[in-house]
Amino acid sequence: MTHARNSGTEQAWAALGGDPALLERIDGGGPAGVLPARLPVLELARSTVAVCALAAAELAARRTGGGSGAVPRVRVDDGAVGTAFLSERHLRIDGRAPATFAPLSRFWRTADGWVRTHANYPHHRARLLTALGLPDDAGADAVAAVLAGRRSVETEETVYAAGGLAVALRTPEEWAAHEQGAAIAARPLLTLDRTEGPGPVAPRRLAPLAAAPLLPAAGLRVLDLTRVLAGPVATRDLALLGADVLRIDAPQLPESQDAHNDTGFGKRSVSLDLRDRAGRATFEELLAEADVLVTGYRPGALEAYGLTPEALAVRRPGLVLAQVSAWGRYGPWHERRGFDSLVQVASGIAALEGGPGAPGALPAQALDHGTGHLLAAGILRALSDQHDEGGSRLLRLALGQTAHWLCNGVPRRPDAGTSETYDPEKYLGSVDGVTGRLRYALPPVSFAGGPTDWSRPPGRLGADSPRWRAVAA
């Protein structure tokens, strides 16, 4: 047993409301020197994976009729964790590396410091160029020339006002003094609350598990309204654990098949336009039979469709609603879009990880991956609680909260140094998919008797039928 007192795992499990006695079910190990950084990135990574695996093992015990003593042991391998936190970099499609950051998604020098932009999507690129007064075909040199004469915070505000994404580099002290940073610091890592509709909701009695491997989410239906990374990582975990995950994308929003090749394992993908009457009717039919709804769009974007916690508690009693955002649902930035790289810049992480005269970055998109595993853990914990108590549940996380935890809460441990024994190939799998031969990171979530890989490779985005699979009697 390698669990340490006041570890990140203990903190995360307490935030999830888990039984502290179950922490003794966690074993660890693996190579040293994984995810090296000035901040305790490896501790965050192993902690979020550990609580996800422990929540899965806890739910498996509920469904096999055992008590806490029957919770399977959890294994956290640092090599598997580190490889999975870099899954998008390890991915290969017929030997080809996926497309990652676009040319205009990067750090830029300004008149008084640095700013980072995010322009991977065409509409974000267009809005960035519009805000800077540049033509649609402008390249990096033109952007650099404009930003060199502008102040960082001015650029941040101008680009956001135009619907683009840009964040000024701040130190941890500057972020702590910022109104949004202070709002984040005043709140917990996550919230998991019970919500009620017009009447009581009986305990959820899931069918017993009998077959191997143990799939604690088997028979559960998950509507996945998330994009990019944190939300898709969470629903990828749920798919591993047996859930029927149906990803919904709007046809008018561009999305990357390469990204789906990384996070789409075990899922199906549907294209639905909620603005269209037929698309909305189909969505409502799916929602009526869903057990979990996961959303990752900017706060306010889905409320127009009646997807508020209060409305859902009435329309779908017993639903677990899980929401993830960049900046949280509070403070002056609560409706702003955001990505892992931008949260790193605002929160002081890029300043801490940088060197003299230049900002840096974490060795992985650890805010996305860590928040994703926490999100899955919270959903699994909600399902265990519902098994005993019934009711609906509301789970909320934000990348900004995870960043604050990394900088101020996750314990710093002595640097284990580099390791010549760490070989990521040991933690990679390969499979034939619809887009070619995929090399991919194997799942890091592991417990005794549980699954070791996903049941199916990713399909094409939007190519599946908008219907649930039949649940076995």
In 3D space, the residue among 12, 41, 16, 25 whose CA is nearest the CA of residue 364 turns out to be: 41
The answer to which of 97-106, 157-166, 406-415 has the lowest mean pLDDT is 406-415
Over range 29-50, report the average pLDDT.
95
In a domain, 369, yes or no: yes
Tokens of 323: 């929401």
In a domain, 472, yes or no: no
In a domain, 344, yes or no: yes
- pLDDT tens digits for 377-430? 999 999 999 998 999 999 999 999 999 999 999 998 765 555 567 899 999 999
Asked whether the predicted pLDDT for residue 6 surpasses 80, the reply is: no
3-state SS of the chain is: CCCCCCCHHHHHHHHCCCCHHHHHHEEEECCCCCCCCCCCHHHHHHHHHHHHHHHHHHHHHHHCCCCHHHCCCEEEEHHHHHHHCCHHHHCEECCECCCCCCCCCCEEECCCCEEEECCCCHHHHHHHHHHCCCCCCCCHHHHHHHHCCCCHHHHHHHHHHCCCCEEECCCHHHHHHCHHHHHHHCCCCCEEEEECCCCCCCCCCCCCCCCCCCCCCCCCEEEEECCCCHHHHHHHHHHHCCCEEEEEECCCCCCCHHHHHHHCCCCEEEECCCCCHHHHHHHHHHHHCCCEEEECCCCCCCHHHCCCHHHHHHHCCCCEEEEEECCCCCCCCCCCCCCHHHHHHHCCHHHHHCECCECCCCCCCHHHHHHHHHHHHHHHHHHHHHHHHCCEEEEEEEHHHHHHHHHHCCCCCCCCCCCCCCCHHHHEEEEEECCEEEEEECCCCCECCCCCCCCCCCCCCCECCCCCCCCCC
Domain holding 41, by residue range, is: 1-467
CATH of residue 146's domain is 3.40.50.10540
Give the predicted TM-score (pTM) of the model: 0.96
Task: Name the average pLDDT for the chain.
Answer: 93
In a domain, 345, yes or no: yes
Domain count of the chain? 1
Q: What does residue 221 show for φ and ψ, rounded to 5 degrees?
A: -110, 125
In a domain, 473, yes or no: no
The answer to which of 254-263, 288-297, 430-439 has the lowest mean pLDDT is 254-263
In a domain, 271, yes or no: yes
The answer to which of 13-17, 25-29, 101-105 has the lowest mean pLDDT is 101-105
Check residue 67 and give its pLDDT: 67
Check residue 74 and give its pLDDT: 98
Place of tokens 């993908």: 269
